Structure 1
């Protein structure tokens, strides 16, 4: 029979493992979500938010589509880490 203290410690460890697992999947969801948002924004276009976000007037990075593409690129680290682990290069 396990003591209440060891049962609580085990439940705490299980909660930490579950939280880490959820965080990993959420990290994997970010890049494709932003990529989909970029495609949808490019297809739909002419949104009033584009006027607000295009403050650069002529800047290559003005508007929502480039912003979503940059956010997708910045959040791709989770995918690169997953690919490296699958290829056996996950040293950490």
Structure 2
């Protein structure tokens, strides 16, 4: 169950990045500005993109297992009559 739950983090953060990018008002957050210079990108968007990238590990392991399984299956098919 924990393996499947770990797969939920990356898509959730990707969706939140998309939502914060689409729903952003374009106004810089006063807490994120320094000396009147605001970030050109929404800081929440940047955070959610980074969190999504950091949580890609379980997806990469799943794809690797799938790829290895396919490779083993095609190798076995070569030796079957």
Instruction: Specify the TM-score bucket, using the shorter chain as the normaliser.
Output: 0.5 to 0.7
Deviations 1:13-68 (A, max 9, x none): xxxxxxxxx211111000000000000011110289x6267356555776100100
Structure having greater relative contact order (Cα 8 Å, sep ≥ 6): 2
Runs (4+) of structure 1 exceeding 2 A deviation are: 52-62
Q: 2:19 aligns with which of 11, 15, 40?
A: 40
Pair 1:80–1:47, CA change in 2 (3 A): same
TM, length-normalised to structure 1: 0.59
Please tell me whether residue 51 in structure 1 is matched to residue 1 in structure 2. Answer: no
Unaligned runs of at least 5 residues, structure 1 = 1-21
Aligned 8 A contact 2:21 2:42 in 1: no
User: For the aligned residues, what is the CA RMSD?
Assistant: 2.9
Which position in structure 1 is the counterpart of 2:45? Answer: 65
Distance in 2 of aligned mates of 1:33 and 1:65: 13
Equivalent pairs counted in the alignment come to 67
Which position in structure 1 is the counterpart of 2:72? Answer: none
TM, length-normalised to structure 2: 0.66
Unaligned runs of at least 5 residues, structure 2 = 70-81
